[in-house]
């Protein structure tokens, strides 16, 4: 922003704050430096109107409550004013430890837009007399970040406006168009989700922001729907993640090559005395298939001794994997040769 | 600083100075994170602003006294502007996330701050109510290790490295506990590596707090190692995998150079591996949902490994 525009906006704020009456654009142009123009000159007047519109938008973005209204029923043109009570940040007193917490919290954002917003907010609190020093980092801190879709989705939630986006679900082949009335955002285990009414399915749905591909577009009017009262966004997100019920716990005995497969060793409940071929470990498992798949990652370093069910699962899995690198390898070679 | 922030700074500068009569200019500039020259520039700008009429009695007046500054006429700019919804959201959500973090030394102070800031924000904080946050991790070890950080002693760790599939001992100087991506980490100066390392708390299999105080090189405190950095290194072997869509989550877990859907529904994923042993474990762990295509050496390793293992189940 140019220095001239900053100066003009500061004067506009002081002028509107000092007036109890609504001031018309014409009156403002005649009063505040930087707006003077010949109203009879159509092009100059249009330029003023554009400038004034941009300035109003900028002030609203900063949180300045610009009111529009008329002083009496006889006024044909609306005017503007800023109610001091709405403009001013209320009294806020923080103890030194609270101010330190606030300073540390504001620095947690890793996302540039939110970090800047937090910094601007902090500055207003400083101007209210709160002393916030740089200070030490806390001993424990969450890393806060958001996905690209966060800002447009949040704006749509605020305006209660329908959004459209392309979404790549966990098992979708390609992104699909989705239409949603967003109710709110939830952060669950470090990941962001939007919860709302999926208009194509006519049901509550939850979408992970990082799987939204491309831009989020708004559609239709603001205030287009009501957000149901008492919705627990986190419940929806937790349901989205609901795991299949666990099978009963069982034990398996695994032979592990000496000094190998540390990842399996650290989960062992029992390790028997070493024999020449390696160590015999006892581990608890629930689902034989998932357990076998996990063990497969350790390759030739582990052999399942018991139970036969896990042995069979693992042998089948290994045979399937081996087939990819033996038969297909030769056919691939023939094709390229 | 963005231009919007500049207007915000200038609008709130008069109330800031009113609250601190006779503040040193350099102290104010430091507080605002700007240079003394920038602050002087803002003050001259404010000199040109004031009430309509814009005469000597209408303009903002600021008195300089060598190194200090005092507002003598404020033209009605006595208080800062209210928080905007975006500002309120950024502060309130950060405080709520912090309040939800285990292992805080003073959770009560966070709760009080949150209450006061939300009250000051008023309606602007309404949209923050449309955001829910839940504990990022559920880990009793966060309590233990943030206590160790506060204690300020060196620690001997037994740490399991999933990348190397080995456990090893090392002495570290704890810096802080950081919670990111669903996991809690101890940031510490590793004496063996002579660098800052992050240790996932759920992979610390044992620890012993030593008598000696933590000795952290000054430059190490601000260091924040990215967990993905090691994988993006161009010196590391490049691997190409074909994965089923059910295993596509690996593209969210590991930094990938390239991933693209294939006509048959599978995905081609190109990524850097720590080493081929790591790549072998990754591919074997994905079972039938993945096939390594490149490099040929990885395919040979997979063939040899699976055939050797299979032989043991032939009975």
What's the CATH code of the domain at A47?
1.10.10
Q: Determine the residue of chain A that is closest to B132 in CA distance.
A: A186
Give which of A142, A139, A134 is closest to A109, Cα–Cα: A142
Interface contacts A/B by beta carbons within 8 Å: 357
The reported pLDDT for the residue numbered A335 is 39
A254 and A209 both lie in a single domain: no
Tokens in use for A259? Answer: 């000094």
Q: Is residue B135 part of a domain?
A: no
- pLDDT for position B233: 61
Q: How far is B144 from chain A (nearest CA, A)?
A: 11
Is A262 found in the same domain as A185? no
Closest residue on chain B to A58 (Cα): B4
How many structural domains are present in chain A? 3
Is A119 among the domain residues? no
Q: Characterise B287 by phi-psi region: left (phi > 0), alpha (psi -120 to 50), beta (else).
A: left
Q: Does A102 touch chain B (CB under 8 A)?
A: yes
Report the C-alpha gap between A188 and A191 in whole angstroms. 5
What CATH code is carried by the domain that includes residue B166?
A: 2.30.30
Q: Is the dihedral of CA B83, B87, B92, B95 positive or negative?
A: negative
| Burial class of residue A119 (count of CB atoms within 10 Å of its CB; 0-12, 13-18, 19+) | buried
Select from B54, B79, B265 the residue whose CB has the most chain A CBs within 10 Å, as the one to mutate to test that interface. B79
A266 pLDDT above the threshold of 60: yes
C-alpha distance across the termini of chain B, in Å: 71
A72 shares a domain with A11: yes
Q: Which residues of B touch A29 (CB under 8 A)?
A: none
B236 vs B127: CA distance, rounded Å: 45
Q: Are residues A159 and A229 in the same domain?
A: yes
**Number of CB atoms found within 10 A of residue A239's CB:** 10
* Same domain, yes or no: A223 and A263: no
Distance CA A307, CA B277 (A): 28
Closest residue, chain B, to A184 (C-alpha): B130
User: Quick check: A109 contacting B, CB < 8 Å?
Assistant: yes
Could you say which DSSP state residue A219 is in? E
- Do residues B209 and B195 touch, judged by C-beta distance below 8 A? no
pLDDT band at residue A249 using 50, 70 and 90 as cut-offs:
confident
pLDDT of residue A136: 66
**Alpha-carbon distance A285 to A166, whole Å?**
39
The CATH number for A232's domain is 2.30.30
Domain that holds residue A321: 250-331
Residue B18: per-residue pLDDT? 94
Q: Does B282 touch chain A (CB under 8 A)?
A: yes
Give residues with Cβ within 8 angstroms of A108, minimum separation 6.
A141, A142, A143, A144, B94, B97, B98
Distances (CA, A) of B139 to A242, B181, B201: 20, 14, 9
Task: Kindly determine whether residue B5 and residue A315, on different chains, have CB atoms separated by under 8 Å.
Answer: no
| Shortest Cα–Cα distance, B201 to chain A (Å) | 13
Q: Would residue A164 count as lying in a domain? A: yes
The pLDDT mean for chain A works out to 87
Q: How far apart, in Å, are the Cα atoms of A226 and each of A160, A194, A197, B94?
A: 7, 16, 11, 27
Q: Are A120 and B176 a contacting pair at CB < 8 A?
A: no
* Contacts with A, B 108-147, CB within 8 Å: 109-110, 112-113, 116-117, 119-120, 122, 124, 127, 130-134, 136-137, 142, 145-146
Residue B91: which domain range?
A: 85-130
Which residues in chain A have their CB less than 8 angstroms from residue B302's CB?
321, 324-325
Q: Do the beta carbons of residue A102 and residue B66 sit within 8 Å?
A: no
Q: Is A318 on the interface with B (CB under 8 A)?
A: yes
pLDDT of residue A333: 40
Domain assignment present for residue A143? The answer is: no
Confidence at residue B229, expressed as pLDDT on a 0 to 100 scale: 42
Residue B7's SS3 state is helix
B178 and B202 within one domain: yes
pLDDT digit string (tens) for A5-18? 999 999 999 999 99
Q: Can you name the residues that pair with A79 across neighbouring β-strands?
A: A24, A69
Disruptive mutation site among A4, A9, A10 for chain B (greatest number of B CBs within 10 Å)? A10
Cβ neighbours of B218 in A, within 8 Å:
none
In A, minimum Cα distance to B181 occurs at: A190
Tally of domains within chain B: 4
pLDDT for res A93: 93
Which residues are CB-contacts of A237 (< 8 A; sequence separation ≥ 6)? Answer: A186, A188, A193, A195, A206, B134
Which residue in the set B165, B282, B303 is minimally distant from A325, CB to CB? Answer: B303
Q: Does A171 touch chain B (CB under 8 A)?
A: yes
Asked if B5 is an interface residue toward chain A (Cβ–Cβ < 8 A), one would say yes
Token couple for B150: 């506060």
**The CATH number of the domain where A266 resides is what?**
3.30.70
Q: Closest to A33 (Cβ–Cβ): which among B54, B93, B308?
A: B54
First to last CA, chain A: 65
Whether the Cβ atoms of residue A147 and residue A209 lie closer than 8 Å to each other:
yes
Distance CA B263, CA B269 (A): 14
| B125, B144: one domain | no
Last residue of a domain, one of A240, A261, A291: A240
Q: Does B226 touch chain A (CB under 8 A)?
A: no
Taking the CA of residue A75 and the nearest CA in chain B, the distance in Å comes to: 22
Q: Which residue from A294, A240, A238 is spatially nearest to A266, judged by alpha carbons?
A: A294
Three-state SS at B116: helix
- The answer to whether residue A165 scores a pLDDT higher than 60 is yes
* Distance between B66 CA and the closest CA of chain A, angstroms: 23
Cα–Cα dist A219/A234, whole Å: 26
- Counting beta carbons within 10 angstroms of the beta carbon of residue B307, is it exposed (0 to 12), middle (13 to 18) or buried (19 or more)? middle
A142 falls within a domain: no
| CB pair distance less than 8 Å for B162 and A263 | yes
CB contact under 8 A, B287 and A92: no
pLDDT, tens digit, 9 for 90 and up, residues A189-218: 778 999 999 999 999 999 999 889 889 999
The whole-angstrom distance between B134's CA and the closest CA on chain A is 5
ipTM above 0.85, yes or no: no
Last residue of a domain, one of A193, A214, A240: A240
Q: State how far residue B237 is from chain A, nearest Cα, in angstroms.
A: 19
Any domain includes B159: yes
Question: Does the beta-carbon distance from B137 to A189 stay under 8 Å?
Answer: yes
Predicted local confidence at residue A336, as pLDDT: 40
What pLDDT, on the 0 to 100 scale, is given for residue A244? 57
Residues B305 and B240 in one domain: yes
Q: How far apart are CA B82 and CA B52, in angstroms?
A: 23
- Neighbouring C-beta atoms of residue B4, cutoff 10 Å: 16
- Do residues A255 and A319 share a domain? yes
The residue of chain B nearest to residue A325, with distances taken between CA atoms, is B303
**A234 contacts B90? CB cut-off 8 A:** no
Length of chain A equals 337
Backbone angles phi, psi at B52, to 5 degrees: -50, 145
**Considering only CB atoms, which chain B residues are within 8 Å of A321?**
284, 287-288, 302, 306
Partner-chain contact A139 B312, CB within 8 Å: no
Last residue of a domain, one of B170, B200, B224: B224
For the cut 60, the answer to whether the pLDDT of residue A153 exceeds it is yes
* Residue A126 lies inside a defined structural domain of this protein: no
CA distance A183 to A196: 5
Query: Contacts of residue A261 in chain B, CB cutoff 8 Å?
Result: 165
| B78 assigned to some structural domain | no
Same domain, A60 and A8: yes
Q: What residue in A sits closest to B284 (Cα-Cα)? A: A297
Q: How far apart are CA A109 and CA A153, in angstroms?
A: 18
Cα separations in angstroms, B38 against A4, A13, B9, B237 = 16, 22, 11, 49
Is some CB atom of chain A closer than 8 A to the CB atom of B87? yes
Given this model, what pLDDT does residue A334 score? Answer: 41
Q: Which residues contact B155 (CB under 8 A, 6 or more apart)?
A: B148, B171, B172, B174, B188, B207, B208, B209, B210
Domain boundary among B196, B224, B252: B224
3-state secondary structure A298-321: CHHHEEEEECHHHHHHHHHHHHHH
DSSP letter for each residue of A121-170: HHHHHHHTT------PPPSEEE-B---TTHHHHHHHHHHT-EEEEEE--T
CA atoms within 13 A on the CB side of B132: 17
CB-based contact A138:B102 (threshold 8 Å): no
Among A123, A128, A191, the residue with its CB nearest the CB of B8 is A123
B220 and B146 in a common domain? yes
Domain final residue, candidates B224, B244, B268: B224
* A12 and A40 assigned to the same domain: yes
Assigned domain for A136 exists: no
* Residue ranges in chain B modelled with pLDDT below 70: 1-4, 135-139, 222-234, 315
Does A98 reside within a domain? Answer: no
Domain membership flag for residue A104: no
- CA separation for the pair A194, A181 (Å, rounded): 10
| CATH number reported for the structural domain that contains residue B295 in this entry | 3.30.70
**B248, B252, B306: residue with CB nearest A318:** B306
Q: Does residue B177 sit in the same domain as residue B214?
A: yes
A 10 A CB-CB count for A172 gives 13
Q: Which of residues 66-85 of A touch B (CB under 8 A)?
A: none
Cα R_g (chain B), whole angstroms: 28
Chain A window 215-244: which residues touch B at a Cβ cutoff of 8 Å? 227, 232-234, 237
Q: Are B121 and B174 in a shared domain?
A: no
Cβ <8 Å between B288 and A320: yes
Domain assignment present for B122: yes
Q: Of the residues A87, A112, A142, which one is the last residue of a structural domain?
A: A87
């Amino acid at each position: 922003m140019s220095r001239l525009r900053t100066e003009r906006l500061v004067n506009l704020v002081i002028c509107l704050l000092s007036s109890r009456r609504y001031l018309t654009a014409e009156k403002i142009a005649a009063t505040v430096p930087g707006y003077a123009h010949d109203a009879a000159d159509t092009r100059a007047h249009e330029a003023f109107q554009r400038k004034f519109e941009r300035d109003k938008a900028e002030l609203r973005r900063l949180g300045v409550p610009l009111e529009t209204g008329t002083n009496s029923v006889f006024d044909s043109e609306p005017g503007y004013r800023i109610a001091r009570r709405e403009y001013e940040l209320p009294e806020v007193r923080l103890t030194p430890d609270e101010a330190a917490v606030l300073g540390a919290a504001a620095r947690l954002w890793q996302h540039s837009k939110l970090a800047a917003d937090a910094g601007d907010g902090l500055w207003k609190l400083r101007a209210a007399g709160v002393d916030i020093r740089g200070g030490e980092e806390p001993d424990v801190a969450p890393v806060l970040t958001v996905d690209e879709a966060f800002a447009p989705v949040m704006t749509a939630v605020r305006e209660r406006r329908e959004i459209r986006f392309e979404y790549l679900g966990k098992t979708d082949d390609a992104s699909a168009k989705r239409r949603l009335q967003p109710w709110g955002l939830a952060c669950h285990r470090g990941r962001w989700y939007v919860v709302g009414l999926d208009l194509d399915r006519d049901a509550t749905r939850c979408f992970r922001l990082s799987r939204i591909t491309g831009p989020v577009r708004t559609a239709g009017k603001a205030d287009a729907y009501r957000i149901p009262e008492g919705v627990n966004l986190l419940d929806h997100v937790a349901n989205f993640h609901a795991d299949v019920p666990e099978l009963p716990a069982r034990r398996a005995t695994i032979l592990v090559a000496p000094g190998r497969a540390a990842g399996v060793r650290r989960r062992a409940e029992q390790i028997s005395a070493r024999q020449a071929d390696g160590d015999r470990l006892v581990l608890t498992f629930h689902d034989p298939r998932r357990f076998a798949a996990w063990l497969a990652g350790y390759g030739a370093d582990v052999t399942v001794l018991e139970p036969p069910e896990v042995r069979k699962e693992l042998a089948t899995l290994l045979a399937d994997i081996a087939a990819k690198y033996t038969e297909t390898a030769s056919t691939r070679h023939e094709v390229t040769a | 600083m963005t231009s919007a922030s500049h207007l915000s700074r200038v609008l709130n500068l008069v109330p800031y100075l009113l609250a601190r009569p006779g503040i040193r200019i350099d102290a104010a500039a430091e507080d605002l994170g700007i240079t003394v020259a920038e602050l002087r520039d803002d003050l001259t700008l404010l000199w040109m602003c004031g009430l309509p009429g814009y005469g000597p009695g209408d303009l903002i007046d600021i008195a300089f006294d060598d190194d200090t500054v005092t507002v003598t006429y404020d033209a009605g700019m006595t208080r800062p502007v209210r928080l905007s919804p975006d500002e309120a959201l950024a502060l309130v959500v950060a405080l709520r996330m912090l309040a939800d973090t285990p292992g805080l030394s003073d959770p009560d102070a966070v709760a009080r701050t949150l209450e006061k800031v939300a009250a000051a924000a008023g309606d602007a904080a309404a949209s923050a109510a449309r955001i829910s946050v839940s504990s990022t991790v559920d880990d009793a070890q966060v309590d233990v290790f943030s206590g160790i950080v506060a204690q300020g002693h060196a620690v001997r760790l037994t740490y399991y490295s999933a990348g190397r599939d080995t456990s090893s001992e090392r002495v570290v100087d704890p810096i802080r506990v950081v919670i990111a991506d669903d996991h809690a980490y101890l940031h510490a100066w590793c004496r063996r590596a002579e660098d800052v390392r992050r240790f996932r708390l759920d992979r610390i299999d044992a620890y012993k707090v030593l008598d000696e105080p933590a000795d952290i090189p000054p430059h190490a405190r601000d260091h924040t190692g990215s967990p993905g950095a090691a994988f993006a290194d161009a010196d590391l072997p490049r691997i190409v995998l074909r994965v089923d869509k059910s295993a596509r989550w690996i593209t969210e877990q590991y930094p990938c150079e390239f991933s693209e859907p294939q006509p048959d529904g599978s995905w081609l994923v190109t990524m850097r591996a720590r080493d081929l042993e790591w790549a072998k474990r990754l591919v074997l762990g994905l079972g039938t949902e993945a096939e390594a295509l490149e490099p040929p050496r990885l395919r040979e390793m997979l063939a040899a490994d699976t055939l050797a293992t299979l032989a043991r189940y032939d009975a």
